[in-house]
Chains A and B, each alone.
Chain A
Amino acid sequence: MWSLLSIALRNVLRNRRRTMITLAALLLGVGVMVGIRGVLNGLQRALVQTAVSGQTGAIQVHHAGYLKNVIASPLTLDMPADEDFLNKIRKVPHVTAVAPRILFAGMINVGDQTLFAAMQAIDPKREFDAVPLRKMTVSDGGRFTSGKIADAVLLTAELEKGLRGTPGQAQLPAAVLGPDKDGALSGENITIAGQLKLNLPGEKKLAVVPLALAQRLLKMEGRATELVIAVDNIDHIPEVAASLRRVLGSDYEVHTWDQVASFVKQAMERQNLILSLVATVFMILMLLGVANTVLMSVLERTREIGTMMAVGVRRGKILALFLIEAATIGLLGGVAGGLAGLGVVTWLEQRGIEVTMPGSAVPFIIRPYTTLTYLAFVVSLAAGGSLLFAVYPSWRASRMRPVQALAGG
């Protein structure tokens, strides 16, 4: 077996130019695969981070059945937001912050202009502990985020644009209107304090109001419809979610960020699918190159195959010889490509790529990265795939008749 291995390795170096061309193709293919995966990893990590730290939190708690009816933002499915209840959650290991919210459908009135809007009531003091990146989406000169102005309201650009038709808007009194649980419409005076940018695709006409104001407006003192929970590490999310389900019981439902923002997960799955398709095409092209190299080698070495058969080498060993050669090329090309890809990904990780998602006004920095598992996977794929694609030419070599092979085919 050692002599066979030794011959196979020497044969790889025999036609150096051809081996180098095949290796270059493998290097490029594997390198591109590692590069694309790395960028995608970075993008997906940024997406998750934007979702978890910028909007959804790591985990959300609602009253049982709330999420099924979320489009109607039902106020009847509310839950406590008092300190006792929040402390119960804070005591769960790995929980770092809890922020209550009320989501409701309401109206914003400025002068004689009134627009429907999706309303989100948050507690500025707690919200930015639970979703710290969200602070970056607010431009209000600190008027809302500080929590000092009790009637400060943030509007998205879309909503603001709709209200801008009102002349002298800035000086006009503004109000928020909303129906309480019983459907009675109430209003509260507000001050438009600044603008809120969207960091993920979603409802564009959105107003963010202080939680206390919304609780008064909706007659929901000490209540909320949603609790946003931050954890110390996203790897702990499943564990924390399980603990919360145990602690809170069946009256409440606990969802992880990917269940709430399923569109992010779907987008990631779509990206992974596209990458798999691109990678498959790349891989097939590379491996066809390997198959071609082995086929050329078989055709060139027909007489040599005949000689080996004449001195007693069995068909299985001829097959193994060419398979070892192909796998060696695949392995070398895979390792070289993996290292090249790793180099590019590491460079991009340090440099960072600034990207703005469609439908989002907040750019974020992608820091590509790769994992040893993925590198091992692509290297094995290159070596294993080369082996697989070399089966036919190697089998052809092993099935030659000795006489035919000695005569040169």
Chain B
Amino acid sequence: MSLVEIKGVTKTYQLGKTEVSALRGVDLTLERGEFTVVMGPSGSGKTTLLNIIGCLDNATSGSYKLDGEEVGTRDFNDLAEIRNRKIGFIFQSFNLIPVLNVIENIEFPCLIRGENKKELRERVQQVARDVGLDPFLKHKPDELSGGQRQRVAIARALVTQPQLVLADEPTANLDSVTSDQIIDLMLHLNREKGVTFLFSTHDPRVMQHARRVVRIQDGVMVDGSGSAQVEVDRLNAAQHG
């Protein structure tokens, strides 16, 4: 059974009196343990696709099965539960809760589902160690660098032991050295812990490491089984003229 099975998914927005089709019948399957990149130009629909896969938004039509369960028709609270238990998110602008320190940000998703703080502490510290945040546990987000904040976001995404981690342009706000460190970290987590990652990115360094690249254009999947190296070469060629 695939982790993600999407069939004929469409998404239409109403912008005033105009209907905008962001996705026009997308099919996608993700297996467990994949390290996959969704790429496409701005406005191609990749963020919309990630939002639907992340249960942050509902498809207008089509079917979406996560871990064998149809989730497209669930209500808000059911989807909140699914997001909490099965999906981790890493955002471009980190999206940490400013009033919480590192350790509190990491444990937050576990606390809202009622886990005991004391029992949780060991696991949270382990995840923090895994992402290299040991010396910063009591720091607030505004006392951390961009890379450190993204590490907190990664730790928060992993602490619930999700089946899928969605990362929307995770290196877009980071310098190249920090980007490499973050990519290495996610690769390590993918290889060592078997975490499934799905990225949306323009960053060739992310794509270089992807095992699979799917391309989306004008809300339609152009190629769902592309080789990462081919895509990197294509992107480099486009960037260098």
Are B98 and A3 in contact, with the CB atoms below 8 A? no
Q: Please, how many residues of chain B have a CB less than 8 angstroms from a CB on the other chain? A: 27
Report whether A314 and B156 are in contact in the complex, using a CB–CB cutoff of 8 Å.
no
* Stretch of A164-172, A188-196, A302-310 that contacts chain B: A302-310
Q: Measured between alpha carbons, how far is A313 from B56 in the docked complex, in Å?
A: 12
Bound-complex Cα distance A307 to B153 (A): 11
A311 and B57 form a contact (CB under 8 A): no
Q: Which residues on B sit within 8 Å (CB–CB) of A10?
A: 99-100
Bound complex: CA of A224 vs CA of B77, how far in Å?
A: 81
Q: Does A14 contact B (CB under 8 A)?
A: yes
Q: Is B178 an interface residue (CB 8 A)?
A: no
A interface: dominant SS: helix
Residues A303 and B95 in contact, CB atoms below 8 Å apart = yes
C-alpha gap A328/B83 in the complex (Å): 30
Segment among B2-10, B105-113, B214-222 that sits at the interface with chain A: B105-113
Question: Quick check: is A11 within 8 A (CB to CB) of the other chain?
Answer: yes
- Say yes or no for B80: interface residue by CB 8 A criterion: yes
Is A309's CB under 8 angstroms from B80's CB?
yes
Contact with B91, one of A14, A401, A406 (Cβ below 8 angstroms): A406
CB A44 to nearest CB in B, in angstroms, measures 47
Contact indicator B56/A403 (Cβ below 8 Å)? yes
CA distance A11 to B100 in the complex (A): 10
Q: How far is the CB of B98 from chain A (nearest CB, A)?
A: 7
Name B70-90 residues within 8 Å CB distance of A: 76-77, 80-81, 83-85, 89
CB-based contact A314/B97 at 8 Å: no
Taking a contact as CB atoms closer than 8 A, the residue among B57, B81, B97 that contacts A402 in the complex is B57
- Distance of A4 from chain B, by nearest CB (Å): 8
- Checking A11, A14, A311, A317 against B89 with a beta-carbon cut-off of 8 angstroms, the contacting residue is A311
CA distance A272 to B156 in the complex (A): 57
With known contacts A402-B56, A403-B51, A406-B56, A312–B84 Cβ distance under 8 A: yes
Partner of B98, one of A2, A304, A401: A304
* Chain A contacts for B109, CB-based, 8 A: 311-312
* Residue A219 interfacial (CB < 8 Å): no
Given contacts A14-B99, A310-B89, A403-B51, contact A3 B80 (CB under 8 A): no
- A312 adjacent to B91 (CB under 8 Å): no
| 21 residue pairs bridging A and B, Cβ less than 8 Å apart | A3-B104, A3-B108, A7-B99, A14-B99, A303-B95, A304-B95, A304-B97, A304-B98, A307-B96, A309-B80, A309-B83, A310-B54, A310-B83, A310-B95, A311-B156, A312-B81, A312-B109, A317-B112, A403-B51, A403-B56, A406-B56
- Give 10 nearest A-B pairs by CB, closest first: A312-B84, A10-B99, A307-B95, A311-B109, A3-B111, A402-B56, A403-B57, A312-B80, A312-B83, A314-B80
Interface residues of A (CB under 8 A from B): 2-4, 7, 10-11, 14, 303-304, 306-315, 317, 401-403, 406
Contacts A315-B80, A403-B57 supplied; 5 other A-B pairs, CB < 8 Å: A2-B111, A3-B112, A311-B89, A312-B83, A317-B112
